[in-house]
Amino acid sequence: MATVYFMQRILEMTDAGRDQDHLDMLVWNHASIPDRTAYIVGDSDQSPGPVMAEDARALERAGATFIAIPCNTARAFLDEVQQAVAIDVLDIVAETVSAAQEAVPDLTTMGILATDGTLRSRIYHDTASARGIKPVEPDDVVQKDVMSMIYDGVKAGMPVSRDRFDAAVEHLRGKGAQAVVLGCTELSILQTDLEVDEPDVIDSLDALAARTVTLAGGRLR
């Protein structure tokens, strides 16, 4: 689902008046890849890293000049994927933190809504801390509901109420977050479905899509 939505956002963000103004894209939608979160938290011994690396090599052989992976949890395997190819693999976390800094000048505290795997890998924590930004994450009860929204809601094709989404965001604001990043692309889909449009809620998929358009030589709307 996130891959389809990512392509849609690229199309919507590209300033194009004709077909030829849009980006050429090679799409590798590998739905059966081992679950990233399950491996990171120790619930599975199947690492997605080697599979992702082979997928990257296939894209490189097919002619890709860079790779964008619309999955935050997969960022934990970025080094392994990057080492497998000579072309650049974009860093969704770095792009998202940069977008948060652009949206909130002098950002000092950033909230993270993400999977258990993303939080456990500390990819957002480390990137934010390296820029002098304090990362905050949900308490256990709220995080359990975030995971439910992702897995039992979006991934399962079931509805999620706006109240649940807002409660998670407000929880992080209450912990001092000046910006809240949606560090899971399923939350990006949910944000769109719920028509959430708040300047301090930063969509990781949008951040990656914008960078993809510009790096591919397109013009942003």
52 catalytic? Reply is no
Q: What is the pTM of this model?
A: 0.93
Q: Which domains does the chain show, CATH number per domain? A: 2-90+207-215 (3.40.50.1860), 92-203 (3.40.50.1860)
Provide DSSP, 50-81: HHHHHHHHHHHHHT-SEE----SGGGGGHHHH
User: What's the mean pLDDT in 155-171?
Assistant: 97
- Return phi, psi of residue 6, to 5°: -60, -45
In degrees, rounded to 5, the angle at the alpha carbon of residue 199 between the alpha carbons of residues 1 and 130 is 85
Nearest to 136 by CA among 169, 112, 113: 112
135 catalytic? Reply is no
Q: For residue 36, how many C-alpha atoms fall within 13 Å in the half-sphere facing its CB?
A: 25
> Exposed, middle or buried, 220 (CB in 10 Å: 0-12/13-18/19+)?
exposed
CA–CA distance, 20 with 36 (Å, rounded to integer): 36
Considering the candidates 13, 71, 97, 150, report the single residue annotated as catalytic. Answer: 71
Q: What is the pLDDT of residues 8-64, one digit of tens each?
A: 999 999 999 999 999 999 999 999 999 998 999 899 999 999 999 999 999 999 999
Q: What is the pLDDT of residues 91-150, one digit of tens each?
A: 999 999 999 999 999 999 999 999 999 999 999 999 999 999 999 999 999 999 999 999
Nearest to 166 by CA among 125, 198, 118: 198
**Can you give the pLDDT at residue 1?**
79
**Can you give the pLDDT at residue 3?**
92
The alpha carbon of residue 122 and the mean position of all alpha carbons in its chain are separated, in whole angstroms, by 14
CA–CA distance, 104 with 80 (Å, rounded to integer): 32
**Can you give the pLDDT at residue 2?**
86
Considering the candidates 81, 184, 202, 209, report the single residue annotated as catalytic. Answer: 184
For the CA atoms of 190, 116, 105, 12, the dihedral, rounded to the nearest 10 degrees, stands at -30
**Can you give the pLDDT at residue 80?**
97
CA–CA distance, 136 with 124 (Å, rounded to integer): 10
CA–CA distance, 20 with 49 (Å, rounded to integer): 35
